Amino acid sequence: MLGIKRGMSNDIIPNWEVIIHKNARTSDGGDAGNIIEVEEDTLTLERGPTAEYVIPKSSVEGFDGSEVSLTISLKELNNQYRKK
């Protein structure tokens, strides 16, 4: 994947606003939904009409210009980060 950088999460994506409305994919290839909000330390993702997740920015592994890669699995997303 192009654009992957490791280290501080701020180094991975210099301008976090560019990932709003981009799709995110979990470490095991699952569809994590679309990023709908960027806060100081977190991202909010929406998957379908009923699922919303809040994850730490440190869970971002990379961004290829069209899709965000996460370091967490789909199971972790559902079990630990589901907001609604």
Block means of pLDDT (10 residues each) for the chain, 84 residues, are 43 90 98 97 95 97 96 97 90
Q: What is the CATH number of the domain that holds 15?
A: 2.30.30.240
Quick one: pLDDT at residue 12? 80
For 54, the domain range is 9-80
Where b means 16+ CB within 10 Å and e means fewer, 39-77 reads: eeeebbbbbeeeebbebebebbbbbeeebbbbebbbebb
d(CA 34, CA 55) in angstroms, rounded, equals 12
Q: What's the total number of domains in the chain?
A: 1
Q: pLDDT tens-digit profile of 31-46?
A: 999 999 999 999 999 9
Q: Is 60 inside a domain boundary?
A: yes
8 Å CB contact between 26 and 55: no
For the whole prediction, is pTM greater than 0.75? Answer: yes
> 36's torsion region: left (phi>0), alpha (psi -120 to 50) or beta?
alpha
